[in-house]
Amino acid sequence: MKGYVSHQHTYDDRHILDDRNCLVFEGVALTTFGSTAAKFGLVVITLERYFKIVHAIAHRKHYRNWMTSAGVALPWIGSTACVVFPGMFTTRIVNGECLKHSVWPNEAKAFVSMHLSSFL
C-alpha cells in the first residue's frame, strides 16, 4: 500500500475511510452543514412570524401543531440536500489530494452549483 499525505491526513488506499475523512474533515462538511441549517432555520422562523403577525386570523384558523415539527425538520432536510449530498458525490481523492466539490459529471452542474453555493 502506498500512502499519501495531504494536509496532515494520510491516505492509505482505504477508499471508504479516506473518502469520509476527506469529505468530513478536510471538506468541512459538518461546519457547512450546520451553518446552512441555521440559515434555513432563520428563514422558517421569519416566515412563521410573518404569517402569524400579518395574517393573524388565517394563522389562528389554519395553523396546526404538526407544522411546528415540520418547521424544525425542514432546515436539516434542506441542509442535507444542499450540502451533504452534493459534497458526497463531488469530493474525491486524486493523487493523494482531497478535491472538495471539484469532481462534477458535467460543466452545467458545476455552473449551477457555483451559483447556488453563493447563496448558501
Span 78-113, pLDDT tens digits = 998 888 888 777 777 777 777 777 777 777 777 776
To the question of pTM greater than 0.75 for the whole model, the response is: no
Q: How many domains does the chain have?
A: 1
What's 80's DSSP letter?
A: I
Structural domain containing residue 89: 4-117
- Would you say 103 and 91 are in contact if contact means Cβ atoms under 8 Å apart? yes
Q: Mention every residue, 6+ apart, whose C-beta is less than 8 A from residue 51.
A: 58, 59
Mean of per-residue pLDDT scores for the chain: 79
Rounded Cα gap, residues 3 and 14, in angstroms: 10
- The continuous run of DSSP H or E covering 5 comes out as strand 4-6
Burial class (CB in 10 A: 0-12, 13-18, 19+), 97: middle
